[in-house]
Amino acid sequence: MSDRQLTRKALALFATALLTSMATLPVFPVQAMEIDTHSAGNHLVIRDVMVVLEFHNMADHSKDMKANKAVQPVGIDRNHMISVQLLNSKTKQALTNAEVKVTITGPEKKQIGSAGTELKWVAPTARSPYYGAGFDLNTRGKYRVVIHYKQGGKVSNVAFEVMLT
């Protein structure tokens, strides 16, 4: 084989390995949550970044926000909200300059929303800032949430599973 053929073969093997590793992305469970209750969440540390995922039922969340005289996030008009916090794992300071996207797969293995839905930066006065978006999660069962974030030139992906009961 020529050098060119060897290079192409090596690139093909690398691409296959990369795609295989993405397909086998480790999944981290999040506590089960009643579909009609307030929230559930979990976190994971990747390369000194703490990724915190929370689910909120918007009916309950809106009541709590009104009780605390907080402002409803603009554009989150679905029945559930997903919030993602990216924190420096040492200082616990919010990372505000990241690009965060999420892909959700529902219990029927169907994608909810578009792949890589961009999360908006929300900085409420009553709680820590986060990246968030609203989704209609109407079916009980297991949801797979893959968070894609780019911070400091590095792209990372983390997957969580959430059981809505």
User: Which residues face 34 on adjacent strands?
Assistant: none
What is the number of domains present in the chain? 1
Asked if pLDDT for residue 19 goes beyond 80, the answer is no
Query: Is the whole-model pTM more than 0.85?
Result: no
Domain contains 10:
no
In a domain, 19, yes or no: no
Q: Which residue has the higher pLDDT, 90 or 42?
A: 90
Contacts of 132 (CB under 8 A, 6+ apart): 73, 76, 81, 82, 83, 84, 119, 120, 122
The pLDDT of residue 73 is: 56
pLDDT for res 5: 54
Domain contains 8: no
> Chain-centre distance of CA 136, in angstroms?
15
pLDDT for 22-48, tens place per residue? 444 555 455 555 444 444 556 667 778
pLDDT score of 100 more than 90: yes
Instruction: List the domain range (segments joined by +) for residue 79.
Output: 27-164
Q: Is residue 133 part of a domain?
A: yes
pLDDT tens for each residue of 111-151? 987 778 888 887 776 667 888 888 888 888 888 889 999 98
Query: What whole-number distance in Å separates Cα of residue 36 and Cα of residue 79?
Result: 10
Q: For residue 115, what is the domain's CATH number?
A: 2.60.40.3340
What sections of the chain are H helices per DSSP?
3-23, 58-67
In a domain, 72, yes or no: yes
